[in-house]
Amino acid sequence: KLIVERSVRRDKDNKLRITFDEATKVYPVYPYTDELVRSLFRNLKASTLVIFTKNVDEAKYKNSFDYMREFNPNFELELIDGPHDFHLTHVKEVVDLIERYFDKYLK
């Protein structure tokens, strides 16, 4: 209950929004080294679509995105202008991106 209370807030329109409380963040038991991340993406062969908000700290994920681009020709990154839960607030835009991606890679 406490985690939910700390992780959800109402916005100006009285809608519930997910927040990020650093105290509830789960950290891996062992650190992800650069070589481990490279190895993971080197072996990932599936077409991959990542949809992020433009408000994300992209530098935090830059290496992962760069490795995915390097090793996976079917990797695409799309950025949407919106909050963390943009998939709830920008449904049509997200669905359009997914449908376009499926049309491109699942035919």
Which of 9-13, 25-29, 95-99 is the most confident on average? Answer: 95-99
- What the block records as the tokens of 66 is 């760069």
Arithmetic mean of pLDDT, 9-22: 76
CA distances from 56 to 41, 47, 60, 81, 83 (A): 21, 22, 9, 10, 9
Per-residue pLDDT tens over the stretch 22-39: 666 666 666 778 888 888
Domain count, the chain: 1
Q: Which of 72, 90, 91 is nearest to 81 (CA)?
A: 90
pLDDT at 2 over 80: no
- What the block records as the tokens of 104 is 């491109």
Q: What pLDDT score was predicted for residue 23?
A: 67
Enter the pTM of the model. 0.68
pLDDT at 3 over 70: no
User: Which residue range forms the structural domain that includes residue 76?
Assistant: 2-105
d(CA 95, CA 87): 9
Question: Residue 99: what residue type?
Answer: E
For the chain, the average pLDDT equals 83
Question: φ and ψ at 58, to 5 degrees?
Answer: -60, -30
